[in-house]
Amino acid sequence: MEQVVVIFFWLSLILAGVSTLFYLRIFFSRGEAGIFTQLAFLSSWLCLLSLSVVIAGEWLRTGLHPFTGPFSAKVFYSFSILAVYLLFELFYVRRAPKIKMIGVLVFPISVLLLLVGWTQFEATATLSPELKLFRVFIHISSALLAYGAFIVGTIFALVYLIQENQLKKKRGMAATTQKLPSLETAEASTHKALSIGFIFSVVLLLTGMFTAQLVWGKMWDWKEPRMVSALVMTCAYGFYIFSRDILGWRGRRSSYLALVAFGVAVFTYLSPQLLPSIHRWGTGF
């Protein structure tokens, strides 16, 4: 089983690398990219497929649910970023073909994550029995899916800010501005991605609380930095959605808010390393 995992891991890595090249080729081609559009489509979806084989293989290999070790967490990370992005591409590509330009940023990130994951291939976490629970499985996977969505949403928010700045400075016809998605698409995609992320982070909080109830006998601990930080993060994304849908904030303000929320998310991610925390199993989540 280990062999299968390794083979498909490298296949995924190669496919992610090849997809990066295809997306770059599309980005730098003049007019229609022709065959490269189809090649990018093919290699990116194959990459996703191959990553799911790695995840399934890890599950069978370790006997634990996946994403418990740093290696499989990175693989699933990569998977969730790609899955979120590719769903957006699938959904938007007819109406807004320029959305493909986001792939130029998404694929290198997943290549990087996979490379980092490979260095942690041997480091498997040892889990106490209660952590093999189904709710922990949901807890971790929704965390990783939420982060996948947040990363994609943040990229869209950045693209929005770049595009808006160019348009305001009367450089709307600059080559890169014409290649990147329109403000409308960037804005709507940020909103959709962050909403997906928000839902997963609510699930993350709830399952976390239930697990805490079971393991430590109490649902909430204000001294646990990751718990508090995750709550702030969820509230920040909640406020982003609230301000946009109810208060009618849009555009630049909304996008800055998305960036701030992502800052909190990054802190949440790093908090067990920065502060004393109970989230210690399998460092590098």
Partner 1 sequence: MPIIGAGLSHKTAPVEVRERLSINEEKLPEALERLSTYDTIAEAVILSTCNRTEIYVVATDLEKGKEQIVNFLSVYHEVPENTFSDCLYFLNERKTVHHLFRVVSSLDSMVVGEAQILGQVKQSYMIAYENGNTGTILNRLFRHALECGKKVRSDTAIGEMPVSVSYAAVQLAKTVFESLEKRPVMVIGAGKMSELTIKHLVSNGASPILVTNRTFKRAKELAEKFCGIAIPFEEKFEKMSEADIVISSTGAPSYIITRDDALNVMRARRFKPIFFIDIAVPRDVEPGIGEIENVFLYDIDDLKAVVDESLRERKQEAEKGEEIVREEVEKFMSWLGSLDVVPTIKELREKMESIREMELSKALSRLSKLDDREKEVVKALASGIINKVLHTPIVKLKEKANEKDVYECVDTIRHLFELDK
Q: What is the contact surface with partner 1 in residues (CB under 8 A)?
A: 30-31, 95-96, 163, 167-168, 170, 172-173, 177-178, 181-185, 248-253
| Distance of closest approach, residue 163 Cβ to partner 1, in angstroms | 7
- Of 121 and 249, which has the nearer Cβ to partner 1? 249
User: The tokens of 149 are what?
Assistant: 């969505």
CB of 196 to partner 1, least distance (A): 20
Cβ proximity of 193 and 153 under 8 Å: yes
Q: Which is nearer to partner 1, 124 or 164 (CB)?
A: 164
Report in angstroms how near the CB of residue 47 gets to partner 1 at its nearest. Answer: 27
Q: Considering the complex, state which of residue 221 and residue 245 has its C-beta at the smaller distance from partner 1.
A: 245
**Contact predicate 130/210, CB 8 Å:** no
Cβ atoms of residues 116 and 75 within 8 Å:
no
CA torsion 38→39→42→48, rounded to 10°? Answer: -130
Give the SS3 label for residue 75.
Answer: helix
| Residue closer to partner 1 (CB basis): 94 or 218 | 94
CA-to-CA distance for 149 and 145, rounded, in angstroms?
Answer: 6
E-assigned strands of 10-161? none
What's the Rg (C-alpha) of the chain? 20
What's the closest the beta carbon of residue 239 comes to partner 1, in angstroms? 18
Question: CB of residue 109 vs partner 1: minimum separation in angstroms?
Answer: 24
C-alpha span between 84 and 75 (Å, rounded):
14
Considering the complex, state which of residue 34 and residue 276 has its C-beta at the smaller distance from partner 1: 34
Q: What is the DSSP string of 173-215?
A: TSHHHHHSPPHHHHHHHHHHHHHHHHHHHHHHHHHHHHHHHHH
| Shortest distance, position 257 Cβ to partner 1, whole Å | 13
**Of the two residues 223 and 250, which places its CB atom closer to partner 1 in the complex?**
250
